[in-house]
Amino acid sequence: MENEIFIFPDYFSENAVKVILSEGKKDNLHIFRVGKYGRDKTAAFLNYYEEILSGLKTVRNPQKYLEKCKNNIGQLSVSCYYDINDLQYYFEVTLKDNYPERVLLEGMSNSQYGLIQKTAERKKM
């Protein structure tokens, strides 16, 4: 990866970028994700930080919270699932009342758009 250039949003902290570059992998995986805001695929792939920034999520003190998120890979990443069964309860029950327009998305991650890392790899059990 030494000769490759990856572009990160300005709000990613230097430490977050270092972690991603050192632990991320180029991989193509079959994935599932919930589009909480309906068929708008742009909104479906916003990370938590961007959802707050765009007004889709509200928090008490946005500036303070966003500053805290800059170092948190979990808040800067986009979570996907590899097994549809792992997503079923979240989709059918947890999001039912707050996101009635939600849709289930299925596709492939694409390594040409950047690095990925499974949460289980990052949070060693």
Predicted TM-score (pTM) of the model is 0.82
Residue 102 token pair: 């939600």
Helix (H) or strand (E) holding 108: strand 103-108
Rg for the chain, CA atoms, rounded? 15
Question: Are residues 65 and 51 in contact, defined by beta-carbon separation less than 8 angstroms?
Answer: no
pLDDT of 125 reads 47
Mean pLDDT rounded to a whole number for the chain: 89
pLDDT tier, 1 (very low <50, low <70, confident <90, very high otherwise): low
Between 31 and 2, the higher pLDDT residue? 31
